[in-house]
Each structure stands twice: as structure tokens, then as C-alpha cells.
């Protein structure tokens, strides 16, 4: 892990220690889903058929917020989900409670989606922080842009959750020209929201999504 002020040069893939040409190794403290050979095979096969590979290295931490950008296409979710299956990684996603009707609710929960009541005291940030603090291991995945369209400002939720829960932020990216899902630096936030957001978003400018980069 590094401090937010020590982000490396933009456009540089981090070294990859895994011998596998498609996916990465998970460190001991990363949260894992229940072992399932079929889903891991399916995820690897989907990535290979699409020509995608992973680079970088995951941090060995039990709790973290993982952000993914640029998010410019529904295909991001497909490749990201394929990587999740291939890795056997247990990563949680937030969704409003209104989506958890039958039969969607049980399916969403099985996929690691967390039900959030936006009207509850503390809002989704407070609810998520509480869940992270009470869990032995908890990685939360968030698309900071909040939409596939170009935005002027990123959503602040991921920063607030990571800062309040005192967990690091893993910078994950999609780079479509090389068909790469990259695990970039894992950063420790400062107390300066505006500065942290500017530094992180600037680091992402080197990576190209299916339809755009982060600006």
C-alpha cells in the first residue's frame, strides 16, 4: 500500500507475479467465495474467449474499497463479473433495497450484492461502514463515475466509506485497447477529499474504456 501522494506514473501497469496468463493470484487475506470449480472455469473461459487478461497484484488486506473505471459500457460488468468468478473473489456490490423483490432478491444476495436502505439513519455510507467493521473480511466494489456516461465529477461515496471505515482503496481499471483488467496501486486516503479525488481521477486518465476514458 502507498500514500495517496505517492501514486506512480500514469499509464504504467504494475508488475504481475502470477504465472497464469489470464488471472491473478489472490493473497491469503482477500475474501473468497465458496469453492466452485465450474464457476471458476466458466470465468476463466469467458475471459480467454474475449481475449482479456489481468495484470498487477492484489493487496493482502481483509477489508478494502475497490473502485473500477472507466465505466463506459455494460461490457465492463460482464468482464468484471467473469474476473470475479475466475478468481473466486468475494466482492460486495451495493444496491437499493427496492431491487430485492422476488425472485431477484435471492439471486442478487447470492452474487454478493448488498441491500441498502437509502432512507435509513446514516444512509448507505453509514450502513456500509458498519457492515465492513463487523466483518472479518469485506471488499466493496464501486464504480465511482456512477454511470456509463461522461461525468464532470465522480461520486463521493467510495471516498466517504473508505475514509470512515479506515480501509485502503484498490484502484482497478479497464483498458480496452489491450483488453486488460488491471489492479493498480492500493492507496491510503488523506483527510483532504478534494485533493484525493483529483489525484485518483488524474491517475485514471491513461486508461481507455470501451467508449471513453475518465474525462
Long-range pairs of 143-150 with CB within 8 A, sequence gap ≥ 24: 143/67, 143/68, 143/69, 143/71, 143/76, 144/67, 144/69, 145/69, 145/70, 145/71, 145/214, 147/71, 148/71, 148/72, 148/73, 148/74, 148/76, 148/211, 150/72, 150/212, 150/215
pLDDT at residue 182 in the model: 95
pLDDT at residue 213 in the model: 84
Mean pLDDT over each residue of the chain, to the nearest integer:
88
Distance between CA atoms of residues 208 and 189, nearest Å: 24
Distance between CA atoms of residues 103 and 46, nearest Å: 26
What residues does each domain of the chain span? 30-204
Residues ≥6 apart with Cβ < 8 Å to 19: none
DSSP symbol at 54: E
Share above pLDDT 70 across residues of the chain, in percent, rounded to a whole number: 88
- Could you tell me the pTM of the whole model? 0.89
pLDDT tens string 138-163 = 999 988 887 788 888 898 999 999 99
CB 174 within 8 A of CB 73: no
Selected residue with higher pLDDT from 72 and 168: 168
pLDDT tens string 49-100 = 999 999 999 999 999 999 999 988 989 988 998 999 999 999 987 766 666 6
Question: What would the mean pLDDT of 127-146 be, rounded to a whole number?
Answer: 90
Worst-scoring range by mean pLDDT, 17-31, 88-102, 165-179? 88-102
pLDDT at residue 19 in the model: 57
Pairing outcome for strands 2-3 and 91-96: unpaired
pLDDT at residue 127 in the model: 83
User: Is the four-CA dihedral 74, 206, 14, 162 of positive or negative sign?
Assistant: negative
pLDDT at residue 40 in the model: 93
Give the start-end residues of each E strand in 37-168: 53-56, 63-69, 91-96, 113-116, 138-142
Pairing outcome for strands 169-175 and 180-188: antiparallel
pLDDT at residue 20 in the model: 65
Residues ≥6 apart with Cβ < 8 Å to 8: 14, 185
Top mean-pLDDT range of 20-24, 57-61, 111-115: 57-61
Distance between CA atoms of residues 36 and 72, nearest Å: 30
Selected residue with higher pLDDT from 148 and 109: 148
Share above pLDDT 90 across residues of the chain, in percent, rounded to a whole number: 57
Amino acid at each position: 500500500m502507498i500514500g495517496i501522494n505517492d501514486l506512480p506514473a500514469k499509464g504504467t501497469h504494475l508488475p504481475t507475479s502470477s504465472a497464469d496468463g489470464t488471472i491473478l493470484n489472490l493473497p491469503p487475506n482477500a475474501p473468497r467465495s465458496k469453492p466452485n470449480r465450474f464457476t471458476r472455469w466458466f470465468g476463466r473461459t469467458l475471459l480467454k474467449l474475449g481475449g482479456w487478461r489481468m495484470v498487477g497484484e492484489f493487496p493482502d488486506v481483509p477489508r478494502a474499497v475497490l473502485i473500477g473505471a472507466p465505466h463506459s459500457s455494460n461490457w465492463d460488468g460482464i468482464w468484471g463479473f467473469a474476473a470475479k468468478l475466475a478468481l473466486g473473489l468475494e466482492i460486495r456490490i451495493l444496491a437499493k433495497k427496492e431491487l430485492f423483490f422476488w425472485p431477484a432478491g435471492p439471486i442478487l444476495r447470492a452474487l454478493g450484492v448488498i441491500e441498502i436502505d437509502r432512507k435509513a439513519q446514516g444512509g448507505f455510507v453509514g450502513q456500509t461502514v458498519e457492515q465492513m467493521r463487523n466483518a472479518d473480511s469485506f471488499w466493496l466494489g464501486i464504480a465511482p463515475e456512477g454511470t456509463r456516461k461522461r461525468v464532470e465529477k465522480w461520486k463521493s461515496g467510495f471516498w466517504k466509506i473508505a475514509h470512515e471505515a479506515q480501509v485502503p482503496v484498490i484502484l482497478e481499471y479497464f483498458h480496452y485497447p489491450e483488453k486488460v483488467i488491471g489492479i493498480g496501486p492500493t492507496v491510503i486516503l488523506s483527510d483532504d477529499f478534494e485533493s484525493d479525488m483529483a489525484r485518483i481521477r488524474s491517475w485514471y486518465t491513461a486508461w481507455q474504456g470501451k467508449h471513453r476514458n475518465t474525462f
